Amino acid sequence: MDFDLSEEQRMLEDSVERLIAERYGFEQRKKYLKEEAGFSRDLWRRYAEMGLLGLPFEERHGGSNGGAIETMIVMEAFGRGLTLEPYLATVILSGGLIQLAGSEAQRAELLPRIADGSLLAAWAHSEAQSRYDLCDVACSARRDADGWILDGAKSHVMHGDSADKLIVSARISGERRDRDGIALFLVDADAPGVERRGYGTQDGLRAAQITLSGVPIASRDAMGEPGKAASVIERVADCALAALAAEAVGAMAAAHETTVEYLKTRKQFGVTIGSFQALQHRAVDMLVELEQARSMALFATMMVEEPDAAERRKAISAATVQIRRSGRYIGQQAVQLHGGIGMTLEYKIGHYFKRFTAMETLFGDTDHHLAALAEAGGLIAPA
């Protein structure tokens, strides 16, 4: 199997890494954090100019037909920079849902606007009681003469406070945790009955609590076959986990490099602390964890387009378990090896650890994916 990047993929990697190196220094990131939306609108436009926002979409929708490898390249570079822009929420999650469940008219209208940077979107799916069960949906949609009426509440909607368009999951039939009966709807973020409460998350990103009270939805804004959205939701969640795995690897690599550089320059007792063998061993252990995580992130990328949902989900869960364990280990070691400054807001290493910690709770924590993998019989079938 050929693991080398093509010439076009290497060019993409070079251009994104150069952009992040030039425009996403730690001090620049702190400035972006203070902007009204919590990220840089100027950089978002730059992403659009470079074609990053339309990367996974078809050319007829303003994209460039990129696949999982291209997404991995971009997300790994974003992980290195600890970027704040809503790429996961708008391109991976919302763009993915529109591609998989949207009608041709919806794709033709929305995907080009995402690609040119003029539309921000967010997926409003998680609810307070649902934890990591993707089919646990209590938000309801009922038919009326003109379409649908939505009622309910959504929690931790990533970048929901800055989104122009929401994709809302709602139950149209069945019990709260039934697989059947879930539908997806396009909702204008400023529609009557939509209330948003934005807040900052521990890793510096943004999220929102969203309440829907009698929100009217036209029939044309229902996505796919109403009541049959579960498989699409699972597919997009798997794509998000593969993208997060790549982002985590980028952040782990940066945290490791920063720590090694610190060991080479920080002096104690008249010598650099990196000359102590015990600390060298810990830096090597971090590198081993990084390479294990990189291998599993690549595995997740290769499997994310697997048509067999059961095999795909096993692979994604296995990769997620390793990624999260590696991220926690590298984050802990990086902070400890930096000593006191590793705990300060003014130094970047702690921010990598906070991002690892935040990612641990997205689309299922380590225990959730370990249990799912065990229930599925493990990654490798017994001989």
By C-alpha distance, which of 326, 307, 310 is closest to 245? 326
pLDDT band at 3 (very low <50, low <70, confident <90, very high): confident
Burial 42-73 (b: 16+ CB within 10 A, else e): ebbeebbeebbbbbbbeeebbbbebebbbbbb
Residue 327 CA: distances (Å) to CA of 72, 239, 262: 17, 19, 19
Q: How many CA atoms lie within 13 A of 255 on its CB side?
A: 35
pLDDT in tens, 151-167: 999 999 999 999 999 99
Tokens coding 31: 């400035």
- Coil/strand/helix, residue 236: helix
Mean per-residue pLDDT, 22-45: 96
Answer for the pair 319, 364: CB distance below 8 angstroms, yes or no: no
pLDDT reading at 2 higher than 80: no
pLDDT reading at 382 higher than 70: no
pLDDT in tens, 263-284: 999 999 899 999 999 999 999 9
pLDDT band at 223 (very low <50, low <70, confident <90, very high): very high
Answer for the pair 244, 203: CB distance below 8 angstroms, yes or no: no
Tokens coding 337: 């090896």
Helix axes 68-81 and 277-303, enclosed angle (nearest 10): 150
pLDDT at residue number 146 = 86
pLDDT in tens, 183-212: 999 999 999 999 999 999 999 999 999 999
Q: What percent of the chain has pLDDT over 90?
A: 95
Residue-averaged pLDDT of the chain: 96
pLDDT reading at 1 higher than 80: no
Tokens coding 35: 């902007």
Backbone phi, then psi, for 106, in 5-degree steps? -65, -40
pLDDT reading at 255 higher than 80: yes
Tokens coding 50: 């470079």
pLDDT at residue number 4 = 86
pTM: 0.96
Please give the residue that has the higher pLDDT: either 145 or 116: 116
Beta bridge partners of 197: 209
Tokens coding 293: 């995580």
pLDDT band at 380 (very low <50, low <70, confident <90, very high): confident
C-alpha 217/C-alpha 161 separation (Å) is: 20
